[in-house]
DNA sequence: GGCGCGATATTTGTCGGACTATTCTAGGGT
DNA sequence: ACCCTAGAATAGTCCGACAAATATCGCGCC
């Protein structure tokens, strides 16, 4: 297993300069600092302000354009695209969203997606999982149980579990949603951690999902996952509604 | 309306040179011409072969990297990423997939995604659609009914309908799946057109979905959409299994 | 003989500047 | 009032050089 040293959100993407510029601009856009329709300063000035070469700035813009965040045209300049063109399910875009605190609405929408996708995925996984995947799920849950969600290792194990369920569907397009699901899972935990008194043991729900998948029972797996997500959503909502009590 | 000379998949993206290079390489990758793990020829030689400047080639690579298709590192070069890192739901990637004929497996997986997402979306749409969206759905179906799926206008209307349903969920992440859903919808029709004798009138199914959404009945909308997708899948599967009878 | 460690070569990354293509705009002509 | 042309602003493309990272190989040490 790898180091997981960085809290992600800019890990691989920002090792090179063009990546970090893309991240900086991306965060500025998804956080609303640059509204859709806004025109970015032109390449010459912008690269000068950022103290990078124009080539680097341009490559950063290409990255953002590839993710639907901006559109460039001669004379007009580069402008922020309408929100509905944004590739919200792209892992980087999602990471940028979570770099500045995401809005409650966005989080709810992500949960809604989870609620749609994960129960169905669990059902498919119950039909198609192979032994290795089953073993990975079990191992993840064991780690999660011992490490608990208070540790990064435990949270990673949680994500691993949900990830493996998606993988076990043998559906490649579906699996690409793992980053989105993973983001939702991560933030569930973060919000819950802020209100430790609300902490509910998540293991029973997880084991029920696992058992159903292991037993090859699609309907049971779907229901169990539905319950799991519902409860997680309730906890998260409660944490959001409750007054902040962190530092 | 524009020429529609190209079957899309390169419309907006390939107006600039870097875009068309990205598309060319992207197609070569998703079609299996470059396998995951393969190392692309280095920037100097590659840009020379393609008769473009190194800057343009690099920008093209940035685009592919942003979509998860490749990864670049000094000394090692640029190599095709593992399939599970590909952003299969990105509109461009999807378009590249359909530029060369997609595999039957991939199509089936896309359908499975549709089967998961669209019924749930229809249910949400029944609860949340506003009048304007409802009107757009009705208008799309009217056009579809008159133009039929034999014309591009009819097919566009079909996609519009499904698109508006997704939009009416008021769930932004969900809406970004419209390009994926749209791709599946488009290819349903293409396959069916190859076997015109199988043509089944798709309008009753669509109107039932519409009526349920209009009436604000989530469960009914979900069931109607489920039926619609199921029937479309059956038709498509039949067309795939049947012997080819085009030129 | 094995193992670490540093030199080296290869490749991407970054830089700066020049020229081109596109397209919006404004002004002048019809 | 309209069209059309000229100009200006901006992204797009090209070029050539140097910097940084890193896999690989060979040397020397243990």
Q: pLDDT per residue over A188-215, tens digit each?
A: 787 777 766 666 889 999 999 999 999 9
Q: Distance between alpha carbon B74 and the CA centroid of its chain, in Å?
A: 34
Torsion of CA A168, A173, A177, A178, to 10 degrees: 30
CA of B36 to C1' of D15 (A): 32
Kindly report the backbone phi and psi dihedral angles of residue B100, in degrees, each rounded to the nearest multiple of 5, phi listed first: -100, 150
DSSP 8-state code for residue A215 = H
A1: pLDDT confidence band, cut at 50, 70 and 90? very low
Whole-structure pTM value: 0.91
> Given 3.30.800.10, 3.40.50.1370, 1.20.120.530, 1.10.150.530, which CATH number is that of B102-241?
1.20.120.530
Average pLDDT over residues B123-129: 98
Q: What is the structure's pLDDT at B8?
A: 46
Architecture, CATH, for domain A17-85: Orthogonal Bundle (1.10)
CA distance A112 to chain B (A): 8
- Nearest nt by C1' to B16 Cα: D12
A104-241 fold: 1.20.120
Distance CA B157, CA B139 (A): 8
* Best A61, A67, A106, A171 residue to mutate vs chain B (most B CBs within 10 Å): A171
CA of B79 to C1' of D23 (A): 15
For residue A239, how many C-alpha atoms fall within 13 Å in the half-sphere facing its CB? 24
Contacts of A151 (CB under 8 A, 6+ apart): none
Q: What is the structure's pLDDT at A3?
A: 36
> Given 3.50.30.50, 1.10.10.10, 3.10.180.10, 3.30.1700.10, which CATH number is that of B1-100?
1.10.10.10
Query: What are the residue ranges of CATH 1.10.10.10 in chain A?
Result: 17-85
For residue A36, how many C-alpha atoms fall within 13 Å in the half-sphere facing its CB? 8
Contacts of B225 (CB under 8 A, 6+ apart): B118, B119, B121, B122, B123, B165, B209
Give A-chain residues touching B83 at CB under 8 angstroms: 172
Kindly report the backbone phi and psi dihedral angles of residue B101, in degrees, each rounded to the nearest multiple of 5, phi listed first: -60, 125
Distance CA A242, CA A194 (A): 10
State what percent of residues in chain B have pLDDT above 70.
89
> Which residue's CA shows the smallest distance to C1' of C23?
A75
- Nearest nt by C1' to A53 Cα: C15
Q: Tell whether A127 is within 8 A of chain B (Cβ).
A: no
pLDDT digits (tens, 9 = 90+) for B161-188: 999 999 999 999 999 999 889 988 888 7
- Asked if B89's CB is within 8 angstroms of A176's CB, the reply is yes
CA of A189 to C1' of D13 (A): 48
Q: What is the structure's pLDDT at A11?
A: 57
Q: What is the structure's pLDDT at A102?
A: 87
pLDDT digits (tens, 9 = 90+) for B24-49: 999 999 999 999 999 999 999 999 99
Cβ atoms B142, B212 nearer than 8 A:
no
Q: Which of B191, B195, B206 is nearest to B160 (CA)?
A: B206
* Best A59, A66, A78 residue to mutate vs chain B (most B CBs within 10 Å): A66
DSSP chain B: -----S-SSSTTTTSSHHHHHHHHHHHHHHTTSS-TTPBPPPHHHHHHHTTS-HHHHHHHHHHHHHTTSEEEETTTEEEEPPGGGS-TTSHHHHHHHHHSPPPHHHHHHHHHHHHHHHHHHHHHHHHH--HHHHHHHHHHHHHHHHH-TTSHHHHHHHHHHHHHHHHTTT-HHHHTTHHHHHHHHHHHHHHHHTTGGG----HHHHHHHHHHHHHT-HHHHHHHHHHHHHHHHHHHHHHHHSPP---
DSSP H/E element including A213: helix A203-215
Strands (E), chain A: 70-73, 77-80
Q: What is the structure's pLDDT at A120?
A: 98
């Amino acid at each position: 297993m790898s180091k997981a040293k960085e809290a992600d959100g800019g890990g691989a993407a920002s090792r090179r300069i063009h990546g970090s510029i893309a991240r900086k601009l991306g965060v500025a856009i998804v956080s609303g600092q640059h509204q859709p329709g806004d025109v970015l300063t032109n390449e010459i000035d912008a690269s000068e302000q950022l103290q990078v070469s124009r080539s680097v700035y341009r490559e950063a813009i290409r990255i953002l354009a590839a993710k639907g965040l901006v559109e460039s045209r001669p004379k007009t300049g580069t402008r922020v695209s309408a929100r509905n063109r944004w590739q919200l399910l792209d892992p980087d875009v999602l990471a940028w969203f979570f770099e500045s605190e995401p809005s409650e609405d966005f989080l709810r929408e992500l949960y809604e997606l989870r609620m749609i996708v994960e129960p169905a995925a669990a059902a498919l996984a119950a039909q198609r999982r192979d032994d290795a995947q089953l073993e990975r799920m079990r191992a993840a849950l064991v780690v999660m149980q011992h490490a608990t969600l208070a540790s990064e290792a435990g949270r990673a194990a949680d994500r691993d579990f949900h990830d493996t369920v998606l993988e076990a569907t043998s559906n490649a397009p579906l699996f690409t949603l793992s980053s989105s699901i993973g983001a939702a899972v991560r933030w569930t935990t973060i919000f819950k951690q802020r209100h430790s008194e609300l902490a509910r043991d998540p293991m029973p729900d997880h084991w029920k999902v696992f058992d159903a998948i292991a037993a090859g029972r699609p309907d049971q797996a779907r229901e169990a996952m539905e319950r799991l997500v519902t409860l997680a959503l309730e906890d998260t909502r409660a944490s959001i509604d409750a007054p902040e009590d962190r530092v």
